[in-house]
Amino acid sequence: EDQVTQSPEALRLQEGESSSLNCSYTVSGLRGLFWYRQDPGKGPEFLFTLYSAGEEKEKERLKATLTKKESFLHITAPKPEDSATYLCAVQGYGQNFVFGPGTRLSVLP
């Protein structure tokens, strides 16, 4: 059975304090790993797709990386507007998305 865990559950950073969020997964054949951002009262907003180990994607202050067992979302010099819940999802061959519980990020000014 495909599984996704995320850590930490919650993270509080000062503005400018870089850090990383972790997504660990077990899947029978990875077709894709997906990162989303979710603001309160909103639906998840798609950020990145990673397809194979060693792949990296960047967008503004965010950088996602992938290994065979986990993915990291690195946040460089975060700003208060980066505060949100970050969700990770995996898809195995022929299977639907399996989501992790998310990491709630707060960036203080």
Residues at the interface with another protein (CB under 8 A):
4, 31-32, 34, 36, 41-46, 49, 51, 87, 89, 91, 94-102
Shortest separation between residue 34's beta carbon and another protein, angstroms = 6
Nearer Cβ to another protein, position 42 or 79? 42
Shortest separation between residue 54's beta carbon and another protein, angstroms = 17
Nearer Cβ to another protein, position 17 or 97? 97
**In degrees, to the nearest 5, what angle opens at C-alpha 57 toward C-alphas 56 and 61?**
120
Shortest separation between residue 21's beta carbon and another protein, angstroms = 15
Q: Are strands 19-26 and 56-59 parallel, antiparallel or unpaired?
A: unpaired
Nearer Cβ to another protein, position 4 or 75? 4
